[in-house]
Structures are given as C-alpha cells and as structure tokens.
Amino acid sequence: MLIKRASDLKYSDITPREDYLNRRKFLQGLGLAGGLAIAGKGVADLVSPPARAYAGTKLSAKSPSPFDTTEKVTPPQVVTTYNNYYEFGTDKDQPAKNAQNFVTSPWTVSVEGEVGKPRKFTMDEILKLAPLEERIYRHRCVEAWSIVVPWIGYSLSNIINLVEPTPKAKFVAFESYFDRKQMPLWSRAGIELPYVEGLRLDEAMHPLTMLSIGMYGETLPNQDGAPVRMTIPWKYGFKSIKSLVKIKFVKDQPPTTWNITNAHEYGFYSNVNPNVDHPRWTQAREVRLPGYFKNTKTLMFNGYGDQVASLYNGMDLKKNY
C-alpha cells in the first residue's frame, strides 16, 4: 500500500485499508477476559465485528500535543464499532454496518453567515489549511460512557481567522450531511435531520475546539464522522457533530438537534458536569470503554476545567446546562 504524507495527500487519494486483526490480538488489545461485556455488548460480537473495525489512509501529524491526556487510549476496535450516528441506525453496532458505503468524496464544507470572507473548502484544502496535530482527548457521552481517542486535525480557529467573522457574529452554527438515499434508516432516528449543533464564538475559538479529519493515525472511518467532524472534549459527545458540511456564523443562539428534541434533558451548552444529573441517570460516574461498570469518576468539564472554566465565569451551570 502506498502511504502519502499530509503535505502531498489529496482527499481523492484516500482509499480503504483492509486490515483485520486476528482474534487473539483483538482480545489482547481490548484487555477482555471471560464474560466481561462492553456496555451490554458481548465479547463474541466484538471478536467478529459486523463490519471491519477500521479502514483508512495514514496521516502524518505532529505529536505529542500539549493538550494530550495521559490516560490509556481506548482500542480502535471499540471506537469504530460502538457508535452514535443515528442516520445509520440507533443501535451502537449499526453505524459500523450501515455506513460502509457512505460516499465522502468529493466533499466540501461551506463557511458562511456573518463573515467577511465566506468560502467553500474542499477536503484537499482542509487537509492543508494548517499543520495536522494528533491530540489524545477524553470523550464523554451523555449516556455515561467515555473513551480516550487520539484525534488528528487542528484548532477550528484556523478556519475562523481565515474567514474573518464580523462584529455581529456571536455564535457558530454547524450542520451535518444528510442524504435519505445514503442513510436509509434516517426515518427511524427519532430526531430532526439534518443534524445541527452550535457553539458560542469564544467556545469555537478556543484552541481545544478541534476540526478533526482522522484518528489513530489514519483518516476517519465513516461511522465516526468521515471525512471531517468537530471534537470538543469538555462537552458531551453529541456536541461534536459528524460529517460536517456547513459552518455558519450567526447573531443569535442557533438551534441544536438534541435541544430541539428534548430541551428538558439537553441544553445548548452541554458542558460535562458531574454535579448536574441527566433527568434519567446520574452523571457523576461513567463507564470507561472497554468496560461494563460505572467505576470512573466524571470530572468537571471532562477534566479540561483549567483550560475552559473561565469561559463560563458568572454563569449558573445548572441553569445553563
């Protein structure tokens, strides 16, 4: 297989890598034994995943990063077969099965709204816009499970500075790709589509807010948000929108999918906060995958408080959940 560096890589060059791990190596990587299950998913299912665990092209990225956590990285076989991507199914194993033929090239991301220089970025342009970095981030799902992933990308602020937001821009709205033909289970998602999310402008400008185009040293798998997604480590996972096609700078707080669906449970800010329970479960502890029990203590802002707490000075984080 020919491996290209990011500097000379075109997105059209990216093709799947056939790389299956054998059963013994897979189990060793997960550290599983006996009857241990992964959040209700049996070991037998993990040993023979319904779709290949990972497929991508190598990316060259600067590492380590000052943003890295030192916690143990979650095995890629877990992260690529246990997903929330409702357009491809609401069960955790469905996206890996149903997204394999998702067409992600050609691809453009439109940046528009209250900016001085609106434009559309191709994936080739996104790949070369800024030096790629590998950042090992915690990722906390509102469902009380968490993972640690080495993402590849760069701070979103690189694009924001390029398009020059006007003084009217107070928020940034994001929109995910939606195609009924490619996403046949969309009608069962139970949410309005296309998927939308948003940040305050200062949150979007924070260096931790990452535009991600890869993980584990390779391009993103379809089920994990290919070809480009957001990664915002101090917020619950649903804020990190997948398969991004539009970034729009706006004056007013934009609608967000889960807030539209159930505002009582999912607020606009959605900062990881162990002191504010979800109405149906505690957020004080979490399951660190691969695992089964809630034996990991959840940290305020997912452990990134030193970097981001100042963004919320004076705010009541129980009301602004």
Q: Which two three-digit tokens encode residue 81?
A: 């077969």
Q: Which two three-digit tokens encode residue 165?
A: 């937001």
Question: What is the average pLDDT across 17-33?
Answer: 34
Would you state the pLDDT for residue 54? 59
Is the pLDDT reported for residue 254 higher than 70? yes
Which residue is it, tokens 């099965």? 97
Average pLDDT, the chain: 87
pLDDT tens digit string along 116-162?
999 999 999 999 999 999 999 999 999 999 999 999 999 999 999 99
Contacts of 90 (CB under 8 A, 6+ apart): 185, 188, 189, 190
Is the pLDDT reported for residue 41 higher than 60? no
Would you state the pLDDT for residue 247? 98
Is the pLDDT reported for residue 53 higher than 70? no
Domains of the chain: 6-312 (3.90.420.10)
Question: What is the average pLDDT across 93-113?
Answer: 97
Would you state the pLDDT for residue 207? 98
What pTM, to 2 d.p., does this model score? 0.85
User: Which range (47-56, 138-147, 203-212, 312-321) has the least confidence?
Assistant: 47-56
User: Dmax of the chain from CA atoms?
Assistant: 59
Compute the distance between CA of residue 314 and CA of residue 72 in angstroms, rounded to an integer: 34
Is the pLDDT reported for residue 313 higher than 50? yes
Looking from the CA of 66 toward its CB, the CA atoms found within 13 Å total 4
Would you state the pLDDT for residue 55? 59
Compute the distance between CA of residue 214 and CA of residue 143 in angstroms, rounded to an integer: 24
Read off the amino acid at residue 48.
S
Beta strands at 133-140 and 145-155: parallel, antiparallel or unpaired: antiparallel
Residue 40, Ramachandran bin (φ over 0: left; ψ between -120 and 50: alpha; else beta): left
Q: Which of 44, 53, 61 is nearest to 20 (CA)?
A: 53
How sure is the predictor about 56, in pLDDT bands with cuts at 50, 70 and 90?
confident
Other CB atoms closer than 10 Å to residue 265's CB: what's the count? Answer: 13
Contacts of range 127-132, beta carbons closer than 8 Å, 24 or more positions apart: 127/6, 127/9, 127/10, 127/11, 127/213, 128/6, 128/7, 129/154, 129/158, 129/159, 129/162, 130/154, 130/155, 130/158, 131/62, 132/6, 132/59, 132/60, 132/61, 132/62, 132/213, 132/214
pLDDT tens digit string along 187-207?
999 999 999 999 999 999 999
Question: What is the average pLDDT across 81-87?
Answer: 97
